[in-house]
Amino acid sequence: MAKYRKKPVVIDAIQWTGKNLDECKLFTGDNFYGHVPDLREIIVKTSNGPYVVSANDYIIKGIQGEFYPCKPDIFAATYEAVTPSKPEEYAYKCSVCSRIIMSKKPQMVGELYCHRKPMIQKA
Query: pLDDT value at position 54?
Result: 96
Query: pLDDT value at position 94?
Result: 80
Residue 85 counted as domain residue = no
Supply the pTM of this predicted model.
0.66
Residue 6 counted as domain residue = no
Residue 41 counted as domain residue = yes
Q: Are residues 95 and 68 in the same domain?
A: no
| Domain that residue 38 falls in | 12-78
Query: pLDDT value at position 86?
Result: 66
What span, in angstroms and rounded, lies between the C-alpha atoms of 95 and 32? 55
What span, in angstroms and rounded, lies between the C-alpha atoms of 88 and 79? 26
pLDDT tens digits, residue range 48-106? 999 999 999 999 999 899 999 999 999 999 999 988 766 677 788 887 887 887 877 77
Asked if pLDDT for residue 43 goes beyond 60, the answer is: yes
Say if residues 100 and 91 touch (Cβ distance below 8 Å).
Answer: yes
Residue 112 counted as domain residue = yes
12-51 burial by CB neighbour count: b if 16+ within 10 A, else e? ebbbbeeeeeeebeebbeebbbeeeeeebbbbbbbeeeeb
Asked if pLDDT for residue 123 goes beyond 60, the answer is: no
Q: How confident is the model at residue 122 (pLDDT cuts 50, 70, 90)?
A: low
